[in-house]
Amino acid sequence: MVVSRLQYIRRRLLLAVPIIFFIIVLNFLLIQIAPGDAADVLAGEAGSATPEYMDQLRRKFGLDQPIYVQLLTYVSNVATFDLGFSFRHNKPVSELILSRLGPTLLLMVSVLLISVSMGILLGAIAARYLNRWQDITISTVVVLTYATPVFWAGLMLIVLFSVKLGWFPTSGMEKIAAFHTGIARIIDIAHHMVLPVITLTLFYIALYTRLMRASVIEQYTMDYVTTARSKGLGEKRVLWGHILRNACLPVLTMAGIQAGALLGGAVVVETVFSWPGLGLLAYESLFARDLNLLLGIFFISACLVVLVNLAVDLLYASLDPRIELK
């Protein structure tokens, strides 16, 4: 039965609730397995690790309760959108995440749009000129970029374009104490984004290019392509007008699947470039054993992945009329 988009979205969001609940419980239990807690970190920094002081800290943060009590308390708080309090930053977790969510979304959306569009374009060109110099060149370059570690690529870009040439800043999102506003601020942020976006995009362009190339080659064997050619359509018209739309579907599927991996890659890139997003915040909270903040970041990341996959499914139905929302 075909349903409206609004009904489909509502049903998918309801189905996502138990998935997110399972992720919350799993993340909580995995973090509890790790040695140490917030009390250990604070006691170490204070230089006082007496049993009395440690017990006082654990009572303050509720760490003296059994694990199942802590879990029930945390799940009930999340159900009311209370993500807890960060002892490290002395702020509510939701406030910290909201302040860092914008830079991460800006980075992720930029990488996703550029990598998918460039991957589709390069993959189509490689398949169109199969086994020619265009295909060989594109395939060689994407294999090299795919095999290059993200952190190493970021460091090399910093050395070349920041240290040697001085074209781009080495870190941060904006120039410190510049106080830009309006267009000047947008240009400044875009200038700081270039190297982080390139670093993360190189890997995903390679992934989507290879997938698109294989998809286009497969589509060339379909009957509708033979029919289009028999009608006298040129190769360019066949590729860009008929094949491209069908060949994009596997790429979009992979983009949705890779949303979680993209967030993981953002942790590395944000750390290398000191980009003030959720990835850098997660890295800092991990070493500080700020469990509430870390769990809050995991929760928001899971929600983002669910929303990205929902958007991919809706786009799927728009590109291919044979796919019905049920």
Q: How much is the mean pLDDT over the chain?
A: 80
State the pLDDT at residue 137.
92
Length of the chain equals 326
DSSP-derived 3-state class of residue 75: helix
Short-list 305, 295, 314, CA closest to 266 = 305
Using the predicted structure, report yes or no on whether residue 261 has a pLDDT greater than 80: no
215 vs 53: which has the higher pLDDT? 215
143 vs 228: which has the higher pLDDT? 143
The whole-number average pLDDT for the span 157-164 is: 88
326 vs 136: which has the higher pLDDT? 136
Encode pLDDT of 92-142 as tens digits.
Answer: 888 888 888 888 888 888 988 899 899 999 998 998 888 888 889 998 998
Encode pLDDT of 279-325 as tens digits.
Answer: 888 888 877 777 888 888 888 888 888 888 788 777 776 766 666 65
Whole-model pTM? 0.78
- Alpha carbons within 13 angstroms on the beta-carbon side of residue 293 total 28
pLDDT band at 1 (very low <50, low <70, confident <90, very high): very low
The whole-number average pLDDT for the span 179-204 is: 84
Q: Check: CB of residue 201 under 8 Å from CB of residue 114.
A: yes
First to last CA, the chain: 6
DSSP-derived 3-state class of residue 1: coil
Phi-psi region of 252 (alpha: psi -120 to 50; beta: other; left: phi over 0): alpha
Using the predicted structure, report yes or no on whether residue 161 has a pLDDT greater than 80: yes
233 Cβ partners below 8 Å, 6+ apart?
A: 241, 242
- Mind listing the domains of the chain with CATH numbers? 5-93 (no CATH), 100-319 (1.10.3720.10)
State the pLDDT at residue 297.
86
| 100-127 core/surface letters (b: 16 or more CB in 10 A; e: else) | bbebbebbbebbbebbbebbbbbbbbbb
DSSP-derived 3-state class of residue 32: helix
227 vs 317: which has the higher pLDDT? 227
Short-list 235, 158, 227, CA closest to 198 = 158
The whole-number average pLDDT for the span 25-42 is: 72
State the pLDDT at residue 265.
76
221 vs 118: which has the higher pLDDT? 118
pLDDT band at 37 (very low <50, low <70, confident <90, very high): low
Most confident of 28-32, 200-204, 263-267: 200-204
Where do we find the tokens 């410190």?
A: 176
